Homo-oligomer: A and B are copies of this chain.
Amino acid sequence: VARIVCRQISPRIADLAVNRELTAEAIRDGVADGADFVVLPELATSGYAFTDREEAAAVAVGPDHPLFGEWATAAGDALVVGGFCEAGADGRLYNSAAVVGRDGVRAVYRKTHLWDREKLVFTPGREPPPVITTTCGRIAVLICYDLEFPELTRSVALRGAELLLVPTNWPLVPRPEGERPPEVVIAMAAARTNRIFVACCDRDGSERGQEWTAGTALIDENGWVVATAKDGAAAANFELSRARTKTLTALSDLFADRRPELYDGLSAAGALR
């Protein structure tokens, strides 16, 4: 069984020093809560609502930055997945997530689906989300808007991911009374249609007039929300091996029942706009 702890912090815009402390503390809190995986929000080291690219560049860091050493120290035996504003060696900025264990940075994923004005600041990643084998099971890392592309979640599930860890910054959008945030509904469907676990770690607070949803959700392999944030954290224990079988009944299997010849290839070329 893997214990996932999402720490729904409120990073301070463009203040690396404050966010270093805040994220390291959040990791320690997650580890104290027994986490095998600690998930932090998108852009946890930098905040989100930059006025321009220059402001983002001033707080961008590479994966060799000492703050990740602090994350590694705080992680202990847990694995941390958290968003950061990445200064690429190519001089570009990326909206990235680091996977950090006791020995340091294990992987970096650069968000491939940039939302709205992120396009004015960041370069989209060129590589699909990593699928990483851990002692607890196989995880994949996506960031926020990535999750809203069902072909992407399908492809990482087909590549063997059992658990999606998803740092997010969900802007608050209107929704009918009593409804969950729409991003959570999409995550529930991704979980159920792929029989995988999904953990979305959102952020709290507001930034320069941008209200955040604070919609952190842990979703089981049947697509049901089992935990949301309370006092800044959400946690759940997931038996990840349950995601290994896609069999639903004696004759039904979510993956074997696919008919790729009816849709693959259609999506790239067939758009009627």
Contact = CB atoms under 8 A, between A and B. Distances in A.
A212 interface: no
Interface in A133-187: 145, 148-155, 158-160, 175-176, 179, 182, 185-186
A159 B266 contact: yes
Interface string A96-120: 0000000000000000111111011
Interface stretch (A15-23, A45-53, A75-83, A252-260): A252-260
B262 A264 contact: no
Contacts of A155: 262-263, 266-267, 270
A113 B257 CA distance: 6
A151 B182 contact: no
Contact of A159 (B119, B124, B272): B272
Nearest to A160: B272
Interface residues of A, number: 59
Contacts of A176: 224
Nearest to A119: B251
A271 interface: yes
Interface in A182-198: 182, 185-186, 188-190, 192-193
Most buried by B among A152, A223, A264: A264
B182 A223 contact: yes
Q: Which A-B residue pairs are the 3 nearest by beta carbons?
A: A189-B189, A150-B150, A160-B272
Given A151-B260, A175-B224, A189-B189, 16 more contacts: A113-B258, A116-B248, A116-B252, A148-B254, A150-B189, A151-B258, A151-B267, A152-B259, A155-B262, A155-B266, A159-B270, A182-B222, A186-B193, A186-B223, A189-B190, A265-B265
Interface of A: 112-117, 119-120, 124, 127-128, 145, 148-155, 158-160, 175-176, 179, 182, 185-186, 188-190, 192-193, 222-224, 248-252, 254-255, 257-260, 262-268, 270-273
